[in-house]
C-alpha cells in the first residue's frame, strides 16, 4: 500500500516498496558520482536526480553522508560477490610449492582497481562519510563492514596456501587501508596532475594497481606460514 501526500509524493508503506525507493536513491547517488566529485554533490542535487524532494529523501536517509555510506556498503558487497571468480584458483598438491604470490596480488589489486566507485568512497570513508551521521548509522555500517571483512578473509584464506584465518583477516583489513591511502594519491586534483608532468616530478606519479599489487604481495608473503 502507498499513501499520496498533499505534495504529491507517494509514500511507500510496505517494506519492499521502501527498499525499492532506497535503491533508487542509491542508484541516483551512483550516477552522480560518475559525473561529479563527491564534494560537489549536495543533498539537494541528489534529491533532484532521484526525482524526489529533499524532505522525502530524508525519509529514507538521514543525510547525504548516510546515502554514500550505504552506497559504499552496496558496492563492497557487489565486489565480494565477484571476487572469487577474479582470483586465481588455489593450487593443489605439488602445485602449492610453486605458488606465485605476485600473480595472486596482481589479480587482487586489479579486481579492486576495476571498481573506482568503491575506491573513491573507501578513501573518503573516515574523513567525509562517517561525519554528519548518527551513532546508530555508524554502528550499522561498522557491523556490516566487519562482516564483509570476515567474508573477504574467508575468500583470501581459501585461495592463498599458508594463509591462516587470523592472517587472512589482517590481510583483508590492511589492504583496505592501503586502498584508502593510495587512491587519492593516484587520482589527484588538476593542479597536481599538471605539476607532476614536469620531468623532474615524474616519480610523483602513482600507478594505483601496480603499487597496490606490490604492497599486497609483500604483505601476503610476510603473513603466510
Q: Cell numbers 575506491 correspond to what residue?
A: 119
Same domain, 48 and 105: no
* Structural domain containing residue 171: 63-223
Q: Which of 61, 78, 110 is the last residue of a domain?
A: 61
Shared domain for 53 and 70, answered yes or no, is: no
170-177: average pLDDT: 96
Whether residues 108 and 88 share a domain: the answer is yes
Extract the C-alpha cell encoding 3. 499513501
Domain count along the chain: 2
Q: Which one, of 165, 123, 134, 153, lies nearest residue 66 by Cα?
A: 134
112 and 200 share a domain?
A: yes
Does an H or E element contain 11, and which? Answer: strand 10-12
Average pLDDT (9-16) is 64
Q: What pLDDT digit, counting tens, does each position of 135-167 carry? A: 999 999 999 999 999 999 999 999 999 999 999
CATH code of the domain containing 5: 1.10.10.60
Instruction: Compute CA distances 100 → 13, 29, 44, 170, whole Å.
Output: 53, 39, 49, 20
Cβ-in-10-Å burial (0-12, 13-18, 19+) of 135 comes to exposed
Residues 121 and 17 grouped into a single domain: no
Let me know if 198 is exposed, middle or buried by CB neighbors in 10 A (0-12, 13-18, 19+). Answer: exposed
Identify the domain boundary among 46, 61, 76: 61
Q: Select from 11, 34, 61 the last residue of a domain.
A: 61
How high is the pLDDT of residue 17? Answer: 81
Closest CA to 212 of 113, 141, 123: 113
Question: Are 73 and 138 in a shared domain?
Answer: yes
Residues 31-71: tens digit of each pLDDT: 999 999 898 999 999 999 999 999 999 999 999 999 999 99
pTM for the full model? 0.86
Residues 142, 85 share a domain: yes
DSSP 47: H
CA distances from 102 to 109, 126, 166, 207 (A): 10, 30, 21, 16
Q: Are 1 and 13 in contact (CB under 8 A)?
A: yes
Kindly report, residue by residue over 79-128, the tens digit of the pLDDT.
Answer: 999 999 999 999 887 567 678 999 999 999 999 999 999 999 999 988 88
Amino acid at each position: 500500500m502507498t499513501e499520496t501526500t498533499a505534495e504529491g509524493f507517494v509514500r511507500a508503506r510496505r517494506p519492499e516498496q521502501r527498499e525499492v525507493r532506497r535503491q533508487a536513491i542509491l542508484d541516483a547517488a551512483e550516477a552522480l558520482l560518475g559525473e561529479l566529485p563527491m564534494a560537489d554533490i549536495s543533498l539537494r542535487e541528489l534529491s533532484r536526480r532521484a526525482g524526489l524532494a529533499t524532505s522525502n529523501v530524508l525519509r529514507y536517509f538521514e543525510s547525504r553522508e548516510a546515502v554514500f555510506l550505504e552506497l559504499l556498503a552496496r558496492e563492497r558487497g557487489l565486489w565480494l560477490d565477484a571476487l572469487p571468480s577474479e582470483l586465481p584458483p588455489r593450487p593443489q598438491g605439488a602445485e602449492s610449492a610453486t605458488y606465485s604470490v605476485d600473480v595472486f596480488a596482481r589479480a587482487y589489486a586489479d579486481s579492486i582497481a576495476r571498481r573506482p566507485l568503491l575506491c573513491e568512497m573507501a578513501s573518503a570513508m573516515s574523513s567525509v562519510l562517517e561525519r554528519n551521521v548518527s551513532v546508530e548509522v555508524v554502528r550499522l555500517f561498522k557491523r556490516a563492514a566487519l562482516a564483509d571483512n570476515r567474508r573477504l578473509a574467508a575468500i583470501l584464506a581459501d585461495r592463498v596456501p599458508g594463509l591462516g584465518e587470523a592472517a587472512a583477516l589482517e590481510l583483508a583489513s590492511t589492504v583496505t587501508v592501503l586502498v584508502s591511502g593510495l587512491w587519492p594519491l593516484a587520482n589527484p586534483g588538476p593542479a597536481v596532475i599538471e605539476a607532476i608532468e614536469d620531468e623532474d616530478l615524474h616519480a610523483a606519479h602513482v600507478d594505483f594497481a601496480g603499487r597496490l599489487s606490490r604492497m599486497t604481495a609483500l604483505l601476503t608473503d610476510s603473513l603466510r606460514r
